[in-house]
Structure 1
Amino acid sequence: DAPWCRFQEGWTQEGWVSCGLSVCDLVTSRVAPSSLRPQKVGAWTLGREWTEALPPASLDCLSGQHFSDDFAQVNPLRKVPALKDGDFTLAESVAILLYLSRKYEAPDHWYPQDLQTRARVDEYLSWQHTDLQTSCIRTMWQKMLLPVFLGQPVPPETLASTLAKLDRCLQLLEDKFLKDQDFLAGPHISMADLVAITELMHPVSAGCDLFKSRPKLAAWCQRVEAEVGEDLFQEAHAAIMKAKDLPPADKAIKEKLKPLVQPLLH
């Protein structure tokens, strides 16, 4: 088969996890009544041999699986994503993406060989960790997960501040990275676009219409979806879009998560 782009929840070998490329410590690989973390999916497979070598697996962090000694052998950071490829283990979303793209010789447009084009991809991946990613995650938690799932009220001024920061990040995404190009690093889709679109689905899942007043960003989103394929795009984000349907957490989960989510209230 020719290489193909696919979003996926993760890959594992010999029983451990490379669960969906995630952005915070409170994560699971699927959104279900027994899990908390809405999925961030930003990995792709390049040919069917990838999924055969590294089939997907799940990890339920609410049950404490990420604190187990077995999982710590894969990722001492005790959070997902984590990759186990034979005896080799790796943590962190971007590092895993880069490793997989190199090992499986991804088509050049994903992580271009051209020095300056690759630098543009690297530039975005370096920026998004502390800016767009943070704003998107905080928005999702403050607007949806904290009040609905955990029953934790969010001060209106806190949410307003977060939404203002998100708006500034979206403006930077347009002005600094997208500009008048088709994609973030130039005329072709790249790893930067995959990471960016998965971040934006977090506030979208919480009911934020990010694209209503941003036609340039909306057109970019449509191009990304077209490149990936509509069915695959929808499949990739099905879990995150169902986060709003999570039932309220039980008391034990609320108590477990209470100290961890406090920073999201400020």
Structure 2
Amino acid sequence: MKTVLYKTDLSPPARAVKMLVYLLGLDIEQRDLNPVLREQDAHELRKKNPMRTVPFIDEGDFSLGDSHAVVLYLLDKYGGPEHEYLYPKDRRKRATVNQILFFDCGILFPRLGAIMGPTFMGEMTEIPKEVVWRIKNAYSIMEGYLSQTTYLAADTMTVADICAYATASSLVGLVPVDEKKYPKLKQWLNTMFEKEFSKKMNEQGCSDHVTYLKLLMEHNKHNQKSKL
């Protein structure tokens, strides 16, 4: 069975996988799921992906969830020598890439999730100050990484940049980056934005994601006022 990617373009992790698929030149089937409608809860999909998240891939007798696991699997399976820069074989370089991948899934994306979850549940009408502070704290960490290397893990782009950019591109649409305070982060964002794979596989989905969250917050605000 060919690899099937289950995704939604509004999902930053799904967009990270899409960007890598584009970079690797893979011809794989992509099927949309609507997480809001809980389409991933269908019995046959729950068996393959107990986390019930997007993205995940299905190869018939093998399935895999979590975008970071997926991108590393696809790189290992399909990446050639020309793609080694994305996930170097050198032990220390690879460990540094892993560090940023863990930063993305352990710190950066949860800061975005702190907005997404309550907004989808109808609770959030605006981003609380403490959430904004945590996001800016994540920006400060990224600025620190970028003060050491051109990209987050090295002087060349790695898969860690792709994953972190998918998350950060949505975050900065909600909490803009202060260019004076985080100049290197702003430059990195601009550099990633201009890449062809980013324009084709991330830009529209990111724009739609940010717009949807902002509209949903306004909707939540209206609903809460109407109940008073």
TM-score by length of 2: 0.79
Which of 127, 131, 139 lines up with 1:170 in the alignment? 139
Gap regions ≥5 residues in structure 1 = 1-11, 20-28, 32-36, 255-266
Note if contact 2:14-2:55 (Cα within 8 Å) is conserved in structure 1.
Answer: no
Task: Tell whether the 8 Å contact from 1:184 to 1:192 is kept in structure 2 after alignment.
Answer: yes
Q: What's the offset of the Cα at 1:58?
A: 0.4
Partner of 2:110: 134
CA gap 1:94/1:65 in 2 versus in 1, 3 angstroms = same
Name the SS of the counterpart of 1:180 in structure 2: coil
Partner of 1:121: 97
- Is 1:184 the counterpart of 2:158? The answer is no
Distance in 2, Cα, partners of 1:18 & 1:93 = 11
* 1:234 aligned residue: 199
Unmatched tracts of structure 2, length 5 or more: 221-228
* Pair 219,237 (structure 1): closer, same or farther in 2 beyond 3 Å: same
Give the Å deviation of 1:92.
1.1
Higher relative contact order (CA 8 A, sep 6+): 2
Deviations 1:82-135 (A, max 9, x none): 111242111111111110001012511100011111110011112222212111
Amino acid at match of 1:121: V
- Check whether the contact 1:201–1:240 (CA below 8 A) recurs between aligned residues: yes
How far apart, CA to CA, are the structure 1 residues paired with 2:9 and 2:193?
Answer: 21
**Equivalent residues of 1:205, 1:243 under 8 A apart:** no
CA distance in 1, matches of 2:168, 2:36: 24
- Find the counterpart in structure 2 of residue 257 from structure 1: none
8 Å contact kept, 1:205–1:242? no
- Could you tell me how far 1:61 is from its partner in structure 2? 2.5
Distance in 1 (CA, whole Å) between partners of 2:97 and 2:58 is: 25
Find the residue that maps to 1:57 and give its secondary structure: strand
- Are 1:223 and 2:191 counterparts? yes
Root-mean-square deviation over aligned CA pairs: 2.9
Query: What secondary structure does 1:171 align onto?
Result: helix
Corresponding residue for residue 80 of structure 1: 54
- C-alpha change, 1:92 and 1:209, in structure 2 (3 Å) is same
CA contact (8 A) 1:211 1:217 kept: no
Describe the SS at the equivalent of 1:183: coil
Tell me whether 1:152 sits opposite 2:123 in the alignment: yes
Conserved? CA contact 1:137–1:202, under 8 Å: no
Report the identity percentage: 20
Structure 2 vs 1, CA of residues 132 and 62 (structure 1 numbering), >3 Å: closer, same or farther? closer
Please state which structure has a larger fraction of its residues in helix.
2
- For 2:32, give the aligned amino acid: S
Letter in 2 for 1:222: N
Post-superposition offset of 1:64? 2.9
